[in-house]
Structure 1
Amino acid sequence: MRKERIMGINVTSEIKPLKKVLLHRPGAEIENLTPEYLERLLFDDIPYLKVAQEEHDAFAQVLRDNGVEVVYLHELAAKVMEDPDVKDEFIKMFIKEAKVESEQVKEELYNYLISFNCNEELIRKTMAGISKSELKKAKARHLEDFLNEAYPFITDPMPNLYFTRDPFASIGNSISLNRMYSETRNRETIYAHFIFKYHTDFKGTNRLYDRDFDYNIEGGDILNISEKVLAIGISQRTAPQAIEKISERIFFETPDSKIETVLAFKIPKTRAYMHLDTVFTQVDYDKFTIHPQIEGPLEIFELTKGENGKVKITKESMTLQEVLSKYLECDVKLIRCGGGDYVISQREQWNDGSNTLCIRPGEVIVYSRNYVTNKILEEYGIKTHVIPSSELSRGRGGPRCMSMPLIREV
């Protein structure tokens, strides 16, 4: 019996049973990382691709074994390329956003990409990066070309793509199509742009934020606390102005939205705490994993619908536990990464011990290497699905970072 395809977006919780999720299986973009360009491409290390793919496949299989439909970014993007006009539009936008300046190289690059008969191969190639050796006729013609002659790529690889949480975020029946913090990652959102513009399952989805807006915001900072409450981190990668903008659009431009409150959490602006979901995630109705160093005091702001089209902003004076308890209307328990031990929590925080993916209330997917935190979760009655993580973790993101829920049960 053929399983019915679930269409559209519906996510109003971090813990309701997960039905459909978007992943990206790491590809050749990982093998295009080199030590001298790690900082440019926002990586700290180079994962071993073969093992990273095996680990990612194990992750996807855990999801399937638990009744979750898994869809892949490159397949959705390739589907919309079946229309020749869309394919032409995509390639031209890709070249423009790769900031290719030489007209000769632009022309050769366009001819190279349009020649791909397999659309999945086309998408994978744009993700992997295109080296100068692949375009034989491309020659240095401008002073900048000569200065950058040693750089091996015409278009940069996108190794962060397997963290599908960040380019866009599901919020209710809408999405936030994000403007990313760095130019390196902002190019990743081109795939979601085309999927939500043209894919039969997703076109017409309301955009609460768009990739050409002025201020940066990333999906790892956006948590659907409940149908009525959205949490967003003010972080290294999400600007306060973006949070105000998305709040305005929720309260005044999206009449069917049920969100009544946006909570803005100010978190440390460091790489170890780059997003809100790297310091806490919800694992049950009344339980969250947290990094001990963000328990408090935190600056927390309540954004609600004000008068005359303005967002009302109130600074909260409560602890994290008190704020979560108030808005979830229950006695919330905070489960400390590493049990609160400084050395263990620092080590496991580096490997995203607080970054779990909840597939149903009280049931989460976690990295194997965070064994201390995993044991503590089990002691709190949380069922853990442990996945291998020696290579995936090198990208500084956990199971939540690697997944974008598209459908959770109502």
Structure 2
Amino acid sequence: MNLRINSEFGTLRAVLMHRPGKEIDRLTPYNKEFLLFEDVPYLEALQKEHDTFSNLIKETTGATVYQLRELLIRVLYDQQILVQLMRESLKRAGLSHLAGDILERYSTAECATILTAGLKIHELKKKLPSMNAGELMDSAFAIAPCPNLYFQRDPMALTPGGIIFSSMKMEGRQREANLLRTIFENHPEFKDHVNTLYPINGHDTPPSIEGGDVIILSNEAVAIGNSERTDEKAIYHAAKALLGEGTVKRVYEVHLPKKRQFMHLDTVFTVLDENLVLAYPDAMNAVLQTSLYTLKDAQGDRVNIKREVLKESLLTVLEREIPHLEVLSTGNGNQEYAMREQWFDGANVFAVGPRRVISYNRNIHTNRALRNMGVEVLEIPSSELSRGLGGPRCMTMPLSRARV
């Protein structure tokens, strides 16, 4: 598998997803904000909706749907990797020294669950009755859960030049990125095809960047959102790697307002075809500045790039990169509908082929507008999936698409 993609809409061949599990049941009204959630979903219903989503992808595209848990278990059979991940996960609670004891008492599959769903002190004490947890209460987490893990778009991004492994802004999500990078750098199906663009070798604490801020505009251009989750320095390093690699000629830094509804660039717009974009109109009007990175010169490993502040709207940039551009507004152009459906990620549809998308069924006005434009809309239930405030694109990481 090449692990490079050159568009957002080429027919889907393979995708990575994560079926929500026990980590969701760790959420309570009292810890949800700490765990970066705004609601407490009902797990069984959430799983049914997610199963409907993944089955729809397989049935309508024939694409391979990789499940993160299965890939993780395969990698964890390497004892050295398992020990390393367990120690790192226990570090925050000051319990790294217990990694060996845990590995002796839990199976590989159980360890995979612990690494995604977390582990509480009282659960650990059942296996280690004599353990000393210090000042940690029985209800405390020895390892915190990763309830955002079903949003697979955030921990990494595939580009025409290779993979950007995310450095997550929120400490509570960094383990997600670590898990994804460990899988892809060690799984026999992927490890020989990884070209890492970010983070740069030697950067122990790289600036933050998240996959939802990376969008392929054309064969020659990539846009990266400067958002509340992605820093300017990270964009610079990612742009330098992309331009030095030679597969794209332009990288745009899109300055987003630091607001919840504009968390990532893919909550603002998505590319559905060679000349069609779905966008949240308020965001398009709010983005008034972009910066352009281009290659200055390259000699071997030495790459120099230049940055130009364009002071142009996002719409102007898109019109320049996408000939004969058509922009479809969420909510079918109605401001109230657009605001309502943006809360449930109306612009964050998942393109499984040219003018063929998967969308939440609750975004009825946006879906109607898409169909009026000749887009095939495949709907999925969304009562529980949408509680995490992420859409179908957020939940999927395309690993292979047909080239366009």
Q: State the TM-score, normalizing by the size of structure 2.
A: 0.92
- Residue equivalent to 2:338: 345
Q: 1:33 and 1:149 mapped to 2: Cα distance?
A: 18
Q: Residue 276 of structure 1: which of 258, 265, 288 is its match?
A: 265
For structure 2, the 5+ residue unaligned runs are none
Change (3 A) 1:318 1:190: closer
Task: State the Cα deviation string for residues 86-121 of structure 1 (Å, max 9, x = none).
Answer: 32233223323xx121xxx4344541244333x333
- Residue equivalent to 1:242: 234
For the pair 1:258 / 2:251, whether they are aligned, the reply is: no
Q: How does 1:165-184 map to 2 (within 5 A)?
A: 165-184=153-172
- Residue equivalent to 2:37: 43
For structure 1, the 5+ residue unaligned runs are 1-6
Q: How does 1:311-326 map to 2 (within 5 A)?
A: 311-326=305-320
- Residue equivalent to 1:85: 80
Amino acid at match of 2:339: Q
Q: 1:222 and 1:75 mapped to 2: Cα distance?
A: 26
Task: State the Cα deviation string for residues 287-342 of structure 1 (Å, max 9, x = none).
Answer: 111111122252111111124733211222443333212112x1111111112322
Deviation of 1:343 (Å): 1.9
For the pair 1:9 / 2:6, whether they are aligned, the reply is: no
Deviation of 1:132 (Å): 1.3
Q: 1:311 and 1:303 mapped to 2: Cα distance?
A: 7
Task: State the Cα deviation string for residues 246-270 of structure 1 (Å, max 9, x = none).
Answer: 1112223x3xx31110011111111
For the pair 1:55 / 2:49, whether they are aligned, the reply is: yes
Residue 187 of structure 1 aligns to a residue in which SS? helix
Q: 2:18 and 2:177 mapped to 1: Cα distance?
A: 13
Residue 191 of structure 2 aligns to a residue in which SS? coil
Q: Residue 381 of structure 2: which of 359, 377, 388 is its match?
A: 388
Task: State the Cα deviation string for residues 14-39 of structure 1 (Å, max 9, x = none).
Answer: 01111000000000000000111111
- 4+ runs deviating over 6 angstroms: none
Task: State the Cα deviation string for residues 361-397 of structure 1 (Å, max 9, x = none).
Answer: 0000000111111111111111100000100100010
Contact 2:121-2:133 at 8 Å conserved across structures = no
Contact 1:290-1:335 at 8 Å conserved across structures = yes
Deviation of 1:213 (Å): 4.3
- Residue equivalent to 2:329: 336
Q: 2:132 and 2:86 mapped to 1: Cα distance?
A: 21
- Residue equivalent to 1:189: 177
Change (3 A) 1:212 1:21: farther
- Residue equivalent to 2:210: 218
Deviation of 1:84 (Å): 2.4
- Residue equivalent to 1:4: none
Change (3 A) 1:139 1:34: farther
- Residue equivalent to 1:160: 148
Task: State the Cα deviation string for residues 221-272 of structure 1 (Å, max 9, x = none).
Answer: 00112221111000010001100011112223x3xx3111001111111122
For the pair 1:71 / 2:63, whether they are aligned, the reply is: no
Q: 1:226 and 1:333 mapped to 2: Cα distance?
A: 15
Change (3 A) 1:115 1:227: farther
- Residue-pair matches, total: 389
Residue 161 of structure 1 aligns to a residue in which SS? helix
Let me know the Cα RMSD of the aligned residues: 1.7
- Residue equivalent to 2:398: 405
Change (3 A) 1:271 1:239: same
Contact 2:221-2:321 at 8 Å conserved across structures = yes
Q: 1:212 and 1:271 mapped to 2: Cα distance?
A: 28
- Which segment is superposed worse, 193-202 or 55-64? 193-202
Change (3 A) 1:115 1:174: farther
For the pair 1:376 / 2:366, whether they are aligned, the reply is: no
Change (3 A) 1:361 1:292: same
Change (3 A) 1:314 1:125: same
Amino acid at match of 1:399: P
Deviation of 1:135 (Å): 1.7
- Residue equivalent to 2:89: 94
Amino acid at match of 2:46: A
Q: 1:112 and 1:8 mapped to 2: Cα distance?
A: 36
Q: State the TM-score, normalizing by the size of structure 1.
A: 0.91
Task: State the Cα deviation string for residues 129-177 of structure 1 (Å, max 9, x = none).
Answer: 1011112244443xxx3xx637531111100000000111111251111
* Identity in percent: 37
- Which segment is superposed worse, 367-376 or 307-316? 307-316
- Which segment is superposed worse, 72-81 or 358-367? 72-81
Q: 1:18 and 1:120 mapped to 2: Cα distance?
A: 29
Residue 379 of structure 2 aligns to a residue in which SS? strand
Contact 1:179-1:212 at 8 Å conserved across structures = no
Change (3 A) 1:374 1:132: same
Q: 2:395 and 2:312 mapped to 1: Cα distance?
A: 31
For the pair 1:367 / 2:354, whether they are aligned, the reply is: no
Residue 306 of structure 1 aligns to a residue in which SS? strand
